[in-house]
A and B are shown apart, each in its own frame.
Chain A
Amino acid sequence: MRVVGSLRSVVSALFHRSRIDKEMEEELRAHIQDRANDLERSGVPRAEAGRRARLEFGGYQKFKEECREAQGTHFLETLIQDLRFGLRMLRKSPGFTAIAVLTLALGIGANTAIFTMTNGLMLHTLPVRDPGQLVELLHHYPGEPEPGFNGFSWDAYQTIRDGNHVFSDLIDGTMNFFTVRGDKLQPQTVFGGGVGGTFFQALGVRAAAGRLIGPEDVHMGYHAPVAVVSWSFWKSRFDLDPGVIGKKIVVGDAPATIVGVAQRGFYGLSYEAQQDIWWPISLGPSPGWGFGLLARLKPGVSLEQARAEMAVVFQTVVNAPDADPFVRRMKLRIEPAGNGVTTPLSQMLSTPLMVLMATVGLLLLLACANLAGLLLARGASRQHEMAVRACLGAPRARLLRQTLTESLLLSLVGCAVGIFVAYFAAHALIRVFASGRFIMGAPVHFEALTNPDAHVLLFTLAIALLTGLLCGAAPAMSASKTEPASALQQASRIGESKSRRLFGKGLVASQVALSLVLMSSAGLFVKYLSHLRNLNLGFERNNLLLVTLDFAHSGYDAAQFSRLSQELVMRLDAIPGVSSATFSSVSPMEGPGASSFAFAEDDPERRTQASINYIAPDYFETYGTPFLAGRDFSARDQAGSPVAIINETTARDCFGNENPIGRHITLSHITLTKGERTYEVVGLVRDAKYNDLQQAAPPTIYPDLLQQGFIGSQLAIRTRIDPSGVASAVRQTEAAVLKTVPIARIMTMNEQIDSSIVPQRLIAMLSAGFGALGALIAAIGLYGLLAYTVARRTHEIGVRMALGAAGTDVMRIVLRGALRMVCAGLAIGAPLAFCGKRVAASLIPDLPVAGPLPIVVSVAIMIAVGLIAAYLPARRAMRVDPMVALRYE
């Protein structure tokens, strides 16, 4: 009641301010008038009475102010006053305001952009019951990149389901693209997934309409022909029509009836790869690693307990009697999945985002130090104003609040601009991501990664407020400590306190230190990128054009392909500028192709896991990989016994030091199918990278594409001129020969390599940008402080020059001071940069951290930047005219 009442008085006071002010005035004046009348009545002359009455009343303005305060309007009212005043001050110095807002907008914007993505990718909690209990199961071969692959065989699924005591539910769900067709429904590619009978129930998802898939839909070797769609799919395709229940559609090739709609907001198991349709998958043996598994931990079971027990359970899976020796090395991993399952995108970006988050954090800190320095310098030049206000009775708290309001105002304006910056930056980043090979064709829900949600806005507001307080704290403290008397006395000439001067210098030094860290880490990442770009790949990367063909609807059989592909290669060879062309099933750096276990026919114990690429003749000539022994495929091979070419690593793994030519090699479990094939080795080639730039060339086996009767969708063309020069001729020739085969993609090998290292490119690009920005900010900070110091020391400099100091002496003094600050910053920054290097190395395994080059270069750059920033103020100091400087007093 009391609270409501006082709140109402505050609100009404605020809205009726002018009326209340007028009434207050009226009341106080009436008092003075009454008093004057009384005095007059007691015999004081009229003029004297009025004067005495006012005197007796005391400080009229002071009491009025106290009345206002007593009324409870004080806080809001002074806030508005402060804001008005702050805005006026900012308008008065547009240069300062622009620099401050820009610095902050860049700092806050960069943080918001990166956080938007981190939020979308890693911090989004799945909209299911108790997401914290969900874990994801992954299998993992030692030595393979983290974190592993979520797929399990039927045997593994059964063993895990029946053997564990830690999971209350085992949830089976896969993800894939499917073409969905139906009556009044255009065929379209939809991202969806097959789910087990307990999927929705275990996740705690309810139906928005109809029913969801349940255990009754899933049986051994059979599943009910039903499907469930997402709420957003229901809305966008069926306009929320309740008649959707019972609608017949075709998913892939299988007819299904829509039986229900999942609850609004449910998007499957990953925020950035949202699913729109689910159908049941039958139990029973399925090819390969068909079961994607999640589990719900029993209440009270910790992640560690689950890991310990499941490690044991999984041993019985991999130690099955018929398991391949290679499978025995497989390990099970259990990872929390409350924020969604691992996707190619999250896998690719989680480390870069962490690195970038740290980088932009440093950048914001740098911006804070910069602004604090500028505000402090400005505060010093406003000392006179503060002193006047203190003399007029402004309480210390009031001055403190005024200064803080101004810095908060700056940071909020910076925040608003920063949100714009972030929005565009996030979109630009997404364009870079989208060029990554893992992302091409992946179901990325881009809005989720670029559009800020409430979390992001809160985060941004929080950092803006924090920034405002951090920047404003020191200047505010110093403003509130203003000693009116001493500040008013010749405000321009008194020296600053030593501690304050030191603090200002410290801020500049810390900016130098922070930007040294930023720059040296940028140097590290740029060096890493150039290292990746200059690796020896085992093939020649320049002047190589790659064409991906889409044979899906061509209707060609192997014989037609064989004939037409040879004709195409012949006609391509005739194009001026083309030196050779070839077909293969995959091209290097395109992405993973087939794999299998491989062993020498007479030595099955010595086996290796090999990558497979089916190739046509002239593959190695086109790619520029040299033969070490043996021969290429020829037309004669097509009718002969199976032949293959192997690389050095395969030869070493399977044949040791013996000559492999003429020996036989057996492949088993080719891409997870059972069955074996044996080939005669006819050629040995040098190692070449297969799929991953950072990894050594794997054992690779190249069977004959045409002999095996496969269709190869990768066409590679070696050119003598720039590949873009032949692209249109290649298109025309292809269209003339393969009439029903569209070109899915055409790019150079260099572009394909770049698309495989998007995260590294992104880190290098952004950190270089942030490093440059950091140096610029530090330069502004240094310049600001020096310009201000020189302005304050004009008198001193004038005296020195009057006493015979030369201009160069003065310049030297200023430059020396600047260098001292820079060097102090470098001394602090160097160890920090070293620590930063260690942290980066722990995140990115093969970072070239050896060698001090990035730090040395950054130090040199910082010194140069420091001298440039100091030059202008130094020149101004040199040009001080002693007469003018002294008269100025």
Chain B
Amino acid sequence: MPEHAQILPGTLDLLILKAVSLGPLYGYGILLRIEQISHGALLIEQGALYPALFRLVRQGLLKAHWDTSENNRRTKFYELTTAGRKRLRQEEDGWNRLVAAIASTLKAQPEEI
């Protein structure tokens, strides 16, 4: 089992958007997909997922509809809106820039100063 990493505050929205961008999902499915694509490295407090989902719906980044799932149960599915897709791109860029900046900072050697 790989070591768990606590997710940074504010990054949960990004993870949800990313997970949903790969195809419509229901709540528990989103959790599973994040675990799956992070190879179990990211640990999410499960309940915290839902307030975030409701918030994203209200912001118009996700839309939700009720449908029947593969095991024939009424389930609420989430998918990305156009605004959500745009926001995901922005957040990805922002994240990458941040990571690059921090990484280069951490790589700094004494002689570079």
Chain A residues at the B interface, C-beta cutoff of 8 Å = 2, 5-6, 9, 23-24, 26-28, 30-31, 34-35, 56-60, 62-63, 66-67, 69-72
CA distance A70 to B54 in the complex (A): 6
Nearest-CB residue, chain A, relative to B27: A31
B76 contacts A by Cβ under 8 Å: yes
B84 CB to closest chain A CB (Å) equals 14
| A58 touching B73, Cβ below 8 Å | no
Query: Given known contacts A70-B54, A70-B55, A71-B58, is B75 in contact with A30 (CB within 8 Å)?
Result: yes
- B73 near A30 (CB under 8 angstroms)? yes
Residues of B within 8 A of A2 (CB): 60
| B47→A34 contact, CB < 8 A | no
B23 proximal to A (CB < 8 A)? no
Is B95 in the interface zone, CB < 8 Å from A?
no
Cβ–Cβ contact A58 & B75, under 8 A: no
CA of A24 to CA of B54, assembled, Å: 10
B51 interface residue per 8 A CB criterion? yes
Q: Contact partner of A31 among B46, B51, B52, B66, CB < 8 A?
A: B46
Cβ of B45 within 8 Å of any chain A Cβ, yes or no, is: yes
Distance in angstroms between the alpha carbons of A70 and B75 in the assembled complex: 20
Residues of A within 8 A of B60 (CB): 2, 5
**Which residues does chain B contribute within 8 Å of A27, judged by CB atoms?**
27, 50, 76
Are the C-beta atoms of A59 and B58 separated by less than 8 Å?
no
**Chain B, 35-54, contact with A by CB distance < 8 Å: what is the 0/1 string?**
00000000001111111101
Q: B52 to chain A: which residues have CB within 8 Å?
A: 70
Contacts A27-B76, A72-B58; A35 near B46 (Cβ below 8 A): yes
What distance in Å separates the Cβ of B49 from its nearest Cβ neighbour in chain A? 8
CB of B108 to closest CB in A, whole Å = 39
Asked if B54 and A71 sit within 8 Å, CB to CB, the answer is yes
Q: How long is the Cα–Cα vector from A6 to B58 in the complex, in angstroms?
A: 7
Query: By CB atoms of chain B within 10 A, which of A34, A66, A69, A72 has the most?
Result: A34
| Residue in A57, A58, A60, A70 whose CB lies within 8 Å of B58 | A70
Decide: A23 and B51 in contact? CB cutoff 8 A: no
Contacting pair B58 A66 (CB below 8 A): no
For residue A75, give the distance in angstroms from its CB to the closest CB of chain B: 13
One digit per residue, 1 when the CB lies within 8 angstroms of any chain A CB and 0 when it does not, for chain B 51-74 equals: 110110110100000100000011
Shortest distance between the CB of B51 and any CB in chain A (Å): 4
Q: How far is the CA of A71 from the CA of B27 in the complex (A)?
A: 16
A399 to B89, CA, bound (A): 40
CA distance A26 to B50 in the complex (A): 12
Q: Are A59 and B27 in contact (CB under 8 A)?
A: no
Cβ–Cβ < 8 Å partners of A6 in chain B: 58
* A67/B51 in contact, CB under 8 A: yes
Interface pair A58/B28, CB less than 8 Å apart: no
Residues of chain A within 8 A of B51, CB atoms compared: 63, 66-67, 69-70
- In the complex, what distance in Å separates the CA atom of A26 from the CA atom of B60? 22
Inter-subunit contact A23/B76 (CB<8 Å): yes
Dominant secondary structure at the B interface: helix
Query: Nearest chain B CB to A77's CB is how many angstroms away?
Result: 14
Chain B residues positioned under 8 Å from A66 (CB to CB):
50-51
- Cα–Cα distance between A70 and B66 once the two chains are bound (Å): 19
Q: Flag if B48 contacts A63 (CB, 8 Å).
A: yes
Closest 8 CB pairs of A and B: A66-B51, A58-B47, A63-B47, A70-B54, A70-B55, A34-B28, A57-B47, A57-B46
CA distance A31 to B30 in the complex (A): 11
| Given pairs A62-B47, A70-B51, 17 additional interface contacts (CB within 8 A) | A23-B66, A27-B27, A27-B76, A28-B50, A30-B26, A30-B28, A31-B28, A31-B49, A31-B50, A58-B46, A58-B47, A60-B47, A63-B47, A66-B50, A67-B50, A70-B52, A71-B54
A31 / chain B contacts, CB cutoff of 8 Å: 27-28, 31, 46, 49-50
Q: A31 to B31, alpha carbons, bound, how many Å? A: 10
Once bound together, how far apart are the Cα atoms of A507 and B92, in whole Å?
A: 58
Residues of A within 8 A of B28 (CB): 30-31, 34-35
Number of inter-chain CB pairs below 8 Å: 57
In the complex, A62 Cα to B46 Cα: how many Å? 12
**Chain B residue nearest in CB terms to A58:** B47
Q: Identify which of A5, A35, A63, A72 contacts B50 (C-beta below 8 A).
A: A63
**Can you name 30 A-B pairs with beta carbons within 8 Å?**
A2-B60, A6-B58, A23-B66, A27-B27, A27-B50, A28-B27, A28-B50, A30-B26, A30-B73, A30-B75, A31-B27, A31-B28, A31-B31, A31-B46, A31-B50, A34-B28, A35-B46, A57-B46, A58-B45, A58-B48, A60-B47, A62-B47, A63-B50, A66-B51, A67-B54, A69-B51, A70-B54, A71-B54, A71-B57, A71-B58
A70: which B residues are within 8 A, CB to CB?
A: 51-52, 54-55, 58
List of A residues within 8 angstroms of B54 by Cβ: 67, 70-71
Chain B residues lying within 8 Å of A58, measured Cβ to Cβ, are 45-48
CA distance A56 to B47 in the complex (A): 8
Residue among A23, A59, A67, A70 with the most chain B CB within 10 A?
A: A70
Q: How far is the CB of B81 from chain A (nearest CB, A)?
A: 12
Q: How far is the CB of A59 from chain B (nearest CB, A)?
A: 7
Q: Which A residues lie within 8 Å of B49 (CB)?
A: 31
Q: What is the CB-to-nearest-CB distance from A235 to chain B, in angstroms, rounded to a whole number? A: 54
In angstroms, how far is the closest chain A Cβ from the Cβ of B34? 14
- Chain B residue with Cβ nearest A53: B46
Report Cα–Cα, A62/B45, bound state, in Å: 13
Chain B residues lying within 8 Å of A9, measured Cβ to Cβ, are: 58
B47 CB to nearest chain A CB (Å): 4
Instruction: Tell me, rounded to whole Å, the shortest Cβ–Cβ distance linking A11 to chain B.
Output: 13
Question: A30–B71 Cα gap in the complex (Å)?
Answer: 12
Name which residue of chain A comes closest to B75, CB basis: A30
Chain A residues whose C-beta falls within 8 Å of the C-beta of B27 in the assembled complex: 27-28, 30-31
B18 → chain A closest CB, angstroms: 19
**Whole-angstrom CA separation of A60 from B75 in the bound complex:** 19
- Of B47, B66, B73, B74, chain A has the most CB atoms within 10 Å of the CB of B47
Give the distance in Å from the alpha carbon of A23 to the alpha carbon of B66 in the complex. Answer: 10
| Whole-angstrom CA separation of A78 from B60 in the bound complex | 24
By a CB distance below 8 angstroms, the chain A residues around B26 are: 30
Q: Contact string, B12-33, partner A, CB cutoff 8 A, digits 1/0?
A: 0000000000000011100100
Q: Which residues of A contact B31 (CB under 8 A)?
A: 31
Q: In the assembled complex, which residues on chain B have CB atoms less than 8 Å from the CB atom of A57?
A: 46-47
Please name all residues of chain A whose beta carbon is closer than 8 Å to the beta carbon of B76 when the two chains form the complex. Answer: 23, 27
Chain A residues whose CB sits within 8 angstroms of the CB of B66 once the complex forms: 23
Distance of A27 Cα from B26 Cα, bound (Å): 9
Q: Measured between alpha carbons, how far is A69 from B26 in the docked complex, in Å?
A: 21
Bound Cα distance from A60 to B49, whole angstroms? 12
In the complex, A67 Cα to B58 Cα: how many Å? 11
Cα A24 to Cα B51 with chains together (Å): 10
Q: What residues on B are CB-neighbors of A71 within 8 Å?
A: 54, 57-58
**B48 neighbours in A (Cβ, 8 Å):** 58, 63
Taken together as a complex, chains A and B put the C-alpha atoms of A91 and B54 apart, in Å, by 37
Residues of B within 8 Å of A34, CB to CB, are: 28
How distant is the Cα of A71 from the Cα of B45 in the complex, in angstroms? Answer: 20
Q: A23: which B residues are within 8 A, CB to CB? A: 66, 76
C-alpha spacing A67/B31, complex, angstroms: 17
**Considering the chains assembled together, what is the distance between the CA atoms of A66 and B51 in angstroms?**
6
A825 CB → nearest B CB, Å: 52
Asked whether A59 lies within 8 Å of B46 as measured between CB atoms, the reply is no
Task: A34 to B75: give the CA distance in the assembly, Å.
Answer: 11
List the A side residues contacting B58 at CB < 8 Å. Answer: 6, 9, 70-72
Q: Shortest Cβ distance from A12 into chain B, in angstroms? A: 12
Q: What is the CB-to-nearest-CB distance from A310 to chain B, in angstroms, rounded to a whole number?
A: 66
Q: Complex: how many Å from CA A27 to CA B58?
A: 17
Provided the pairs A69-B51, A70-B55 are in contact, do residues A56 and B46 lie with their beta carbons within 8 angstroms? yes
Which of A23, A27, A30 has its CB near the most chain B CB atoms (within 10 A)? A27
Q: Which residue of B lies closest to A34 (CB)?
A: B28
Cα-based distance from A34 to B29 in the complex (angstroms)? 9
Alpha-carbon distance between A548 and B49 when the two chains are bound, in angstroms: 90
A340, chain B: closest CB distance, angstroms = 54
Q: A219 → chain B, closest Cβ, in Å?
A: 75
Contacts of A60 in B (CB 8 A): 47
CA distance A66 to B45 in the complex (A): 14
> For residue A5, which residues in chain B have a CB less than 8 angstroms away from its CB?
60
